[in-house]
Structure 1
Amino acid sequence: MVSFISAWCLVIISLCYTHVVARLVSKGMRRMILFIPVFLYFFVVPLSLSTIHSIGITAFFISWLANFKLFLFALGRGPLASDTKPLLSLPIFLAVSCLPIKIPLSPKPTTSYSSREGLLYYTIMVTLLVLMTKVYAYNNKLPDKAVLTLYAIHIYLSLELILSATATMVRAMSSLELEPQFNKPYLATSLQEFWGRRWNLAVSGILRPTVYEPMVQLFSVLGPNWSQAPAVFATFVVSGLMHELIFFYLGGLMPDWKVMWFFLVHGLCTTVEIAVKKKVNGRWRFIPTGISRVLTFGFVMVTGLWLFLPVFKGGNIFERILEEYAYAGAVVAELKTIIASLILNT
């Protein structure tokens, strides 16, 4: 906890530094050069942490999202840049920099659950997560693929809860209307829809201006119909590299590049899918929605079980996650005992 707080204090100080630099130096290469020490620190900060949850959160929020946002900000682009005023206020700048949130450019009709429905939805998710930790006690009696499938469900539930809790906290503190982080990815009817409009929107939202759009411009010589293909593939390559880096932080092991292959396979298949859609020119919808959902989700799960999920076993990541859950449960139980004794004594 001490190392986590110390690391994040330095993160906040670093972001304050970039905020001051932006006031003094206009966008461009000079600002980019002055940001380099922050980029480097953000890449190494997870190495100073020891628990899986602190490493994972810091690696995702800071080493990936914050670095990419600051890269765009140095060029005067991205969520940290503002068209309506010279610079975001420091509190909002800090929130948008180091948390996986995005401020909508214009008001949108709300599609979120009502407070009661949302509470029920997340209560069910928490309950499922707790039940899964109990099932892990029988890992040795379950087939490997069943265990990996549990890992996949665990990842989705954990990300949904962490990102939604973060967005809710920021919304309560700042009164900002924030965009959702997931959009029911299990209902995707294509790989393009799954990765671009449903799964972890914070990542797709930051990869689009940092990788996809520049690559579209770079390959514009191919024409508007074909410049999209290499841009999509390049986006998956960058995503694969960042995931390999995060798993290096988590497991402390040199990558075996299976995660990278997972994103290369999905990048290639998504690129082919987009090309086929352009070729058939709107006749893609001859496949019934139910079947396309099954095919999409099935492809994601099969390739995930083959290439992505086994990495969690290599670094004993899930075993360490369960140990941290057990430790947190022991701490909560101890606190309950202390509070109960204080009440009885009074």
Structure 2
Amino acid sequence: MFAFGNGPLSDPSLSLSRFLALSCLPIKFQQNPNFETSQKGLKSMWNYALKGFLICLFLKVYDYSDYIHPKVIWVVYSFHIYFGLEIILAVVGGSARALLGIELESQFDEPYLSTSLQEFWGRRWNLMVTRILRPTIYDPVLNASTAIVGRKWASLPAIFGTFMVSGLMHELIFFYMGRVRPDGGITWFFLLHGVSLTIEVAIKKVIKRKWCLPRIISGPLTIGFVLATSFWLFFPEFLRYNPMERALEEYAALGGFVKDVYKALTFKSLNNVVQTYDGEK
């Protein structure tokens, strides 16, 4: 996150609290927050309320999973994960605004509206990771490739290298989550998307927007490709780690820890009161 002096932690004016927040949380501060950005956040409340309602609806759908095709359940699950992430990150952003008086950059921008892989990965999906990978992987590979293939085509190896690193990062993250030996499915998912996005960008450079598909066609094709490859390579690996069960176990352990601490503090306070009363008596 220092990224050779270009990352979010490289700003020497960061306070200790902001430095720690950037280091430990998946957030990025807005450089020039304005009134329009704040209004956009306020206007999105109905958006989040609708997504919260859909999550509740999805939880009810899971009760009938025995009667629904597994692929349909996976589609529901993918939207469930996405909506859940958006709501959690919105709560984090609201808390940061209320407690620290800072605006956080958004993590997602309605990725289901994407009309190309370039738009999906570069401007709509998991933007925090995009902002981290650009100065750490994309820009160095771009600069190195420029001297070899020229500026026009240097972005192609930079794109592929970024996706390759992202795949390895996800393999490491999933191994940390589940302690299950990876078999490369996640890496293949990102390599496939890296190759596909590289081809897409190369075609765009050749045709130079002389011809393009209408949004009504390119949108479903893009999301369909993302979902199909996710079902093929990503979700089987993701579900192999039993993430929901592990998450619930960790939440239960955290709840038990908080409960034990509360009991200990309450018991200690009660003892202090009794001792004080006995002393006065």
TM-score, length of structure 2 as denominator length: 0.82
Query: How much does 1:120 deviate?
Result: 2.4
**Distance in 1 between residues matched to 2:76 and 2:246, nearest whole Å:** 16
In the alignment, which residue of structure 2 is the partner of 1:305?
231
In the alignment, which residue of structure 1 is the partner of 2:6?
77
Query: How many pairs are equivalent?
Result: 254
Query: How much does 1:320 deviate?
Result: 4.1
The one-letter code matched in structure 1 to 2:62 is Y
**Distance in 1 between residues matched to 2:168 and 2:81, nearest whole Å:** 19
CA contact (8 A) 2:106 2:127 kept: yes
Q: Deviations over 1:196-248 (max 9, x none)?
A: 00001101011100100000011112101111000000111111111111211
In the alignment, which residue of structure 2 is the partner of 1:271?
198
Alignment equivalent of 1:281, drawn from 204, 208, 213:
208
In the alignment, which residue of structure 2 is the partner of 1:137?
63
Query: How much does 1:308 deviate?
Result: 0.7
Alignment equivalent of 1:220, drawn from 146, 157, 173:
146
CA contact (8 A) 2:109 2:124 kept: yes
1:198-209 map, 5 Å: 198-209=124-135
In the alignment, which residue of structure 1 is the partner of 2:273?
none
Is 1:252 aligned to 2:186, yes or no? no
In the alignment, which residue of structure 2 is the partner of 1:118?
44
In the alignment, which residue of structure 2 is the partner of 1:241?
168
In the alignment, which residue of structure 1 is the partner of 2:243?
317
Describe the shift of the 1:123–1:107 C-alpha distance in structure 2 as closer, same or farther (beyond 3 A): closer
Which of 1 and 2 has greater Rg? 2
Give the secondary structure class of the aligned counterpart of 1:202: helix
Is 1:155 aligned to 2:81, yes or no? yes
In the alignment, which residue of structure 1 is the partner of 2:21?
95
In the alignment, which residue of structure 1 is the partner of 2:156?
229
The one-letter code matched in structure 2 to 1:92 is R
CA contact (8 A) 1:312 1:318 kept: no
The one-letter code matched in structure 2 to 1:103 is F
TM-score, length of structure 1 as denominator length: 0.67
Give the secondary structure class of the aligned counterpart of 2:37: coil
**Distance in 2 between residues matched to 1:319 and 1:138, nearest whole Å:** 19
Describe the shift of the 1:118–1:90 C-alpha distance in structure 2 as closer, same or farther (beyond 3 A): same
Describe the shift of the 1:114–1:263 C-alpha distance in structure 2 as closer, same or farther (beyond 3 A): closer
The one-letter code matched in structure 1 to 2:63 is A
CA contact (8 A) 2:96 2:103 kept: no
Give the secondary structure class of the aligned counterpart of 1:160: helix
**Distance in 2 between residues matched to 1:287 and 1:209, nearest whole Å:** 31
Q: Deviations over 1:150-193 (max 9, x none)?
A: 22112211221222222221122221222211111111111011
Describe the shift of the 1:163–1:293 C-alpha distance in structure 2 as closer, same or farther (beyond 3 A): same
Describe the shift of the 1:313–1:95 C-alpha distance in structure 2 as closer, same or farther (beyond 3 A): closer
Q: Deviations over 1:53-80 (max 9, x none)?
A: xxxxxxxxxxxxxxxx1x42xx332112
Is 1:190 aligned to 2:116, yes or no? yes
CA contact (8 A) 1:99 1:166 kept: no
CA contact (8 A) 2:93 2:103 kept: no
The one-letter code matched in structure 2 to 1:105 is Q
Query: Which 5+ residue runs of structure 1 have no aligned equivalent?
Result: 1-68, 335-346
The one-letter code matched in structure 1 to 2:233 is L
Query: How much does 1:110 deviate?
Result: 2.1
User: In angstroms, what is the RMSD of aligned CA positions?
Assistant: 2.4
CA contact (8 A) 1:213 1:231 kept: yes
In the alignment, which residue of structure 2 is the partner of 1:11?
none
Query: How much does 1:119 deviate?
Result: 2.8
In the alignment, which residue of structure 2 is the partner of 1:261?
188
Give the secondary structure class of the aligned counterpart of 2:5: coil
Query: Which 5+ residue runs of structure 2 have no aligned equivalent?
Result: 260-281
Query: How much does 1:98 deviate?
Result: 1.7
